[in-house]
Amino acid sequence: MIEVNELTKRYGGTTAVDHLSFTVRPGHVTGFLGPNGAGKSTTLRLVLGLNDPTGGSVTVDGRRFRDRPRGLRHVGALLDAHEVHGGRSALAHLTVLARSNRIPRRRVDAVLEEVGLAGARRRRIGGFSLGMKQRLGIAAALLGDPPVLLFDEPLNGLDPEGVKWLRGLFHRLAAEGRTVLVSSHLMSEMENTADRLVVIGRGALIAAESLTEFAARGTRPTVTVRTPDTAALTALLTGAGAEVRRDADTLTVTGLDADRIGEIALRHRVLLRELTTRTASLEEAFMELTADSVEYLAGEAR
């Protein structure tokens, strides 16, 4: 379990993490989501004690990570896949890590096998593709067989087969009762990966809940109606309290459900060619909730 309590980190005038509190429980894959610059990497570095917080605290299974003597056995982490010595082989890299954390050598072979790098074990890491580096970083995170695992943007650079494999791995790790926290700035990546979400924007908490609960927040159903008689129907629906947007022969209606719209149209003999309810996707809910905290907007000065 990871407990983040009023965590704050400032760099000069920038507040990267702002009184952030949330809990990540074992047995779940928790997605850690936020737009670019939201403070995800900073938070993960604070969990691992790589930086000191300006305020607040974070504990892993009740203790600060730094107070644990053999870190990799308690928390495995993939932060930056490029942060490896390019001149070494995958085998040498993992062997050094295993030795310094007193992890048995057989774990090196086991994790190389697990991530599909057994065949490339003796190749220089410098020649690895981004996807292979990600796999190596994942191998390092798994090395100590830890109960808590953190992954910063692990799906970056993986091909569709790799993404599928990694999702399967996360689910298995969670099913084994481990705490699994996976960061991403894309809801689409988390949709089939996580079952719980912690969403942040500008360093502050926006939501911490199940994926289902999150989806329900942003859901403001709209009904798409196609009719040759848009003017009449718009007047009728507006009169009944709906908000109506008109685009050629299509109306986008909020505030009335499809049943009610159908009844009104029938009563007034307006022909309908389509009547479809749309609920917002998770992506839309995410965009809506984080809209105010997006730092960099294309083509728009803020």
Q: Tell the residue number behind the tokens 């040759």, with chain if given.
A: 228
Nearest distance from C-beta of residue 235 to ligand ATP, angstroms: 47
Q: Should residue 11 be labelled a site residue for ligand ATP when binding is judged by CB under 6 A?
A: yes
Of 38 and 90, the one with the shorter C-beta distance to ligand ATP is: 38
Q: Should residue 41 be labelled a site residue for ligand ATP when binding is judged by CB under 6 A?
A: yes
Of 36 and 62, the one with the shorter C-beta distance to ligand ATP is: 36
Work out the number of other CB atoms within 10 angstroms of the CB of residue 141.
Answer: 22
- C-alpha span between 8 and 135 (Å, rounded): 31
Burial call 11-32: b when 16+ CB within 10 Å, e when fewer: eeeebbbbebebebebebbbbb
List the structure tokens of 280.
């917002």
Q: Which of 40, 121, 133, 196 binds ligand ATP (CB under 6 A)?
A: 40
Q: Should residue 16 be labelled a site residue for ligand ATP when binding is judged by CB under 6 A?
A: yes
Q: Which of 24, 38, 194, 233 binds ligand ATP (CB under 6 A)?
A: 38
Q: Which of 2, 4, 37, 193 binds ligand ATP (CB under 6 A)?
A: 37
Q: Should residue 14 be labelled a site residue for ligand ATP when binding is judged by CB under 6 A?
A: yes
Of 133 and 185, the one with the shorter C-beta distance to ligand ATP is: 185
Q: Should residue 13 be labelled a site residue for ligand ATP when binding is judged by CB under 6 A?
A: no
Nearest distance from C-beta of residue 11 to ligand ATP, angstroms: 3
Q: Which of 20, 30, 34, 141 binds ligand ATP (CB under 6 A)?
A: 34
First to last CA, the chain: 38
List the structure tokens of 35.
């737009």
- Site track for ligand ATP across 159-198, x = CB under 6 A: --------------------------x-------------
Helices (H), the chain: 40-47, 90-100, 106-114, 130-142, 160-175, 187-191, 211-218, 230-239, 258-267, 282-290
Question: 69 Cβ partners below 8 Å, 6+ apart?
Answer: none
Q: Should residue 293 be labelled a site residue for ligand ATP when binding is judged by CB under 6 A?
A: no
Nearest distance from C-beta of residue 41 to ligand ATP, angstroms: 3
Concatenating the DSSP letter of every residue in 170-182 gives: HHHHHHTT-EEEE
